[in-house]
Structure 1
């Protein structure tokens, strides 16, 4: 957590207290309203990590983590829609491309909201979405299994894999168009409100000037792995929200565990070499899940029969915690988590 107040942290707290938390149970049963996203746009939080040159805040990583915790703990569905936005911003800020000058400033300011369609790339050597060159640009074919924020996002960062095992990232409008057809919104056990669809691509054409990054899969996967082994701030945000529902005696030992796991996780997240200590990062990711699961279970037990109502905050948090167990999951993180559960069961 940050040791001194930061304006974006203060704004996140106000947004959570005044808007997100009071309406979280209703949103959970309905959908993230455009008004919530408009409030996030106005807050400046969409530019938390964007360069100041393009209108962003270039805030420290600790600030980005703390604001993510606050939003996730208040309304996980709203957090999940807006968190997609930060990957396209980071890609544009990190890699020089013609599309940077077109999109980075409106994305940093919140004028535009971006979503992501690239998790399927982790299935390689299976290729759910293929990118092929054609005159003046690229053609995308296949199925994007998950795309969040449909109807709220303005643009999407789409990825496909070429025949030469390169990952191609390019921007396109987040709307139905020739070669791009969304499914109806998915009904999920948690975060249905985040407007997740699958997307069928059948000859979607993207111009060369919309390409943000082209990189060999092996090189991309090293960078991606470093992100997916770290504990998510959202896990800590949900845990904090669950602990707030407990009496002090029940919450105290869980809070001690939470503070220790978070401290160690964030210390490694700030390590100057992101590809080191991977086993320890995975272990801490799993420990963060354990604390979250225990805290949300305790909140359910505290709530008793009332916790079974769909209007119960404890029940919502427990379902959101279930979602976070698989969000951003890879084969590696799944294996580590299952091994930990098996060890706990045999101990």
Structure 2
């Protein structure tokens, strides 16, 4: 007998079917509503990978990845807001600093929603945000180019680089305050609904007990490498959703061929994601990531082609999925990922 699906997968599929997917086109044109976030808080999905002793589900990584696929395929904007939450949870779970006891439980249970403001650290040797030791805490100055979930998140995980090339990660309230000012929400070709802003930091001071991690920049880059070189579960979620649209349009054979190829690549990506040494086999990870991009692009393009002129309507999921796919091509992009992807495109 086949094993019953993990309860979190059942919860994610129900939420996707009953709330996220039916409203995805409206959300895409407007904004991720607070009601979607409240549903996520109640669902337990925000604590999918969090330790059980802190109120999380402690689910296996394979389950956590599939939950992310389901949410991204149903409403990529909502997925993008909530996916920011899981990095702070993982960092707190690995920390032994006092902030763990203050924030891990409310984040694991969904009482609080976290966003992230540290992707800019990957821009080194440019330092968009500088961290300076000051009065027993840290002062942050500079610009966070992208911050998603403004107005929805309760707290943010902010990072800056010190003069000694140490990356300092600390939690701040996700609101305007002395030393922190947000831009107007950005208008983007896709995922405008995710409420992305830039943040201007001018002497934002955070106490020492807000710090969750201090690490050498080289060590951050080493640990961060698999995060940027592995294909995101969202790529497979959006591709699968596009293939469902294609099947519904009567193009079952094309969908079957593409789905077979997609599942093969997905299996390879997740096998490497589970590799015990995460910063090894980088070339193979990048090759699979670019193949996943190719199949996502093929799936979303096929959904648009099958829909014809109707696919250009803002009420059509095909055009939304195609634009979400474009967004995923550059989400979390680094110079190494960009180079590998462009080189692969040049070989087509």
TM-score by length of 1: 0.98
Residues 296, 178 of structure 1: CA spacing in aligned structure 2 closer, same or farther, 3 A cutoff?
A: same
Listed one character per residue, the Cα deviations across residues 151-194 of structure 1 (whole Å, up to 9, x for unaligned) are 00000000000000000000000000000000000000000000
Q: Following the alignment from structure 1 to structure 2, what is the Cα–Cα distance between the partners of residues 252 and 77?
A: 27
Of 320, 341, 345, which aligns to 1:341? 345
The within-5 A match list for 1:94-105 is 94-105=94-105
TM-score by length of 2: 0.98
Q: Following the alignment from structure 1 to structure 2, what is the Cα–Cα distance between the partners of residues 340 and 310?
A: 31
Unaligned stretches of 5+ residues in structure 2? none
The within-5 A match list for 1:187-202 is 187-202=187-202
Q: Residue 12 of structure 2 aligns with which residue?
A: 12
Q: Residue 50 of structure 1 aligns with which residue?
A: 50
1:306 aligns with 2:313: no
Unaligned stretches of 5+ residues in structure 1? none
The aligned length equals 343
Q: Following the alignment from structure 2 to structure 1, what is the Cα–Cα distance between the partners of residues 323 and 4?
A: 33
Output the aligned Cα RMSD: 0.9
Offset at residue 8 of structure 1 (A): 0.4
The within-5 A match list for 1:259-298 is 259-298=263-302
Residues 272, 3 of structure 1: CA spacing in aligned structure 2 closer, same or farther, 3 A cutoff?
A: farther
Offset at residue 311 of structure 1 (A): 1.2
Residues 3, 291 of structure 1: CA spacing in aligned structure 2 closer, same or farther, 3 A cutoff?
A: farther
The within-5 A match list for 1:1-347 is 4-246=4-246, 247-344=251-348
Offset at residue 4 of structure 1 (A): 4.6
Listed one character per residue, the Cα deviations across residues 69-108 of structure 1 (whole Å, up to 9, x for unaligned) are 0000000000000000000000000121110000000000
Q: Following the alignment from structure 2 to structure 1, what is the Cα–Cα distance between the partners of residues 335 and 44?
A: 35
* Stretch of structure 1 that moved more, 245-254 or 321-330: 245-254
Runs of 4+ in 1 over 2 A off after TM superposition: none
| SS at structure 2 position matched to 1:273 | coil
Q: Following the alignment from structure 1 to structure 2, what is the Cα–Cα distance between the partners of residues 316 and 3?
A: 34
Q: Following the alignment from structure 1 to structure 2, what is the Cα–Cα distance between the partners of residues 122 and 4?
A: 41
Q: Following the alignment from structure 2 to structure 1, what is the Cα–Cα distance between the partners of residues 263 and 310?
A: 29
